[in-house]
Amino acid sequence: MSPDKTLADKAYRKLRAEILDGHLGAGQKLKLEALAKDCAVGMSPLREALARLQGDHLVVSEGQRGFWVAPLPLDEIDDVSRVRAMLETEALSASIAKGGSAWERRVKEAFERLSQFEEGMPSPGTERPAALLNAWEERNHAFHAALVSGSGSPCLTRLCEQLYQQSERYRRVSRMVSGGRRNVHEEHVAIFRAALERQTLKACRLVEDHILRTAEQIRLAMSLNELPDA
């Protein structure tokens, strides 16, 4: 019952995960033959998967010269984060205004799942296994998605999703989810409360700070680690 109906789906998911994990570094040349072997598929499904990843801006291709993992320019973190903050605050305020009980329930459930997880996590600074980070990432994603899910604007929701994904790539490449002194959990709690109390301005401000603060940490981590950016 896997969600991979076709081999192209399988390859798509696998490659996508590898890129987001940073297993396939930014800017890296993708050797088709090797990838086909790794994914255990032929050329056609692989090529289809790559074409779809191109649509997600995770892969770039050039003429007849092959495919590369999309670069991750250091100087675009702030750009992406600012635009993302704008879209998410817009969507959040619309959700607070229009969101009904179904929205509230989604937010509560997503928050609960994230909250329980964060409280059981090792304190910041400790080493964390990759599996834990993936599980946290999934819940964090769900929480953000739930918050903006009541806007009544499918278009806006799609864009939020798209930008979340781009930010996530930066975060994961910098191998950091919440490092530093920040208590991300507390920020989530504050956002959750403000949203359900329908305090639009406060909630939006909190979300914006949340996003921009994360961006700042990522930029710091990347500039320190001199990670590949092209």
Interface residues with a second copy (CB under 8 A)?
A: 5-6, 8, 44, 47-49, 51-52, 54-56, 63-64, 76, 79-80, 82-83, 86, 90, 153-156, 159, 163, 166
Cβ-based nearer residue to a second copy, 149 or 178: 149
217: exposed, middle or buried (C-beta count within 10 Å: 0-12, 13-18, 19+)?
buried
Give min distance, CB of 154 to DNA, in A. 24
203 within 8 A of 92, measured Cβ to Cβ: yes
User: What's the start-to-end Cα distance of the chain, in Å?
Assistant: 38
Which residues bind to DNA, rule: CB under 7 A?
5-8, 29-33, 41-45, 47-48, 61, 63-67
Question: Residue 56 touches which of a second copy, DNA, none (CB < 5 to 8 A by kind)?
Answer: a second copy
Whole-number minimum distance, CB 228 to a second copy, in Å?
19
Of residues 55 and 63, the one with the C-beta less far from DNA: 63
| Measured distance CA(96)–CA(89) in Å, rounded | 10
Give the shortest CB-111-to-a second copy separation in angstroms: 26
| Residue 73 C-beta: closest distance to DNA, Å | 22
DSSP-derived 3-state class of residue 30: strand
Q: Which does 33 bind (CB under 5 to 8 A by kind): a second copy, DNA, none?
A: DNA
Binding partner selected for residue 32 from a second copy, DNA, none, CB under the kind-specific 5 to 8 Å limit = DNA
What is d(CA 192, CA 29) in angstroms, rounded to the nearest whole number?
42
Count Cα neighbours of 55 within 13 Å in the Cβ-side half-sphere.
6
Nearer to DNA (CB atom), residue 48 or residue 187: 48
- Classified as helix, coil or strand, 32 is helix
Tokens of 140: 């964090």
Minimum distance between the CB of residue 4 and a second copy, rounded to whole angstroms?
A: 10
Closest CA to 208 of 113, 75, 90, 60: 90
* 59 membership: H or E segment, kind and range: strand 59-62
Residue 67 touches which member of a second copy, DNA, none, C-beta under 5-8 Å by kind = DNA
